[in-house]
């Protein structure tokens, strides 16, 4: 996957470590993060906005079974 140069180091790290389909908790674990708010604001939401990561259930973003994967771009 091509990572655009304008993405933040946090988003780049997330994209490089995302393997297959992962939960928010699994992603936070591989990134060694504990603060959910920081993870969402600095890693997950910017990666989704940049089109690098997508939700497995986009119609129910707050689903307890929500997972994330790399886009096919």
Average pLDDT over residues 1-23: 92
What local confidence, expressed as pLDDT, does residue 23 receive?
A: 98
Q: Percent of the chain having pLDDT more than 70?
A: 97
Of 43, 67, 65, 37, nearest in space to 55 by CA: 67
Residue ranges of E strands in 9-60: 22-23, 53-55
Residues facing 70 on adjacent strands? 53
The chain-wide mean pLDDT, for the chain, equals 95
Distance, in Å, from the CA atom of 65 to the CA atom of 62, rounded to the nearest integer, reads 8
């Amino acid at each position: 996957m091509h990572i655009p140069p304008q993405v933040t180091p946090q988003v780049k790290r997330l994209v490089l470590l995302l393997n297959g389909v992962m939960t928010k908790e699994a992603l936070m674990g591989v990134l060694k993060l504990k603060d959910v708010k920081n993870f969402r604001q600095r890693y997950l939401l910017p990666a989704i906005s940049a089109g690098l990561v997508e939700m497995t259930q986009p119609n129910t973003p707050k689903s307890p079974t929500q997972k994330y994967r790399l886009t096919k771009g």
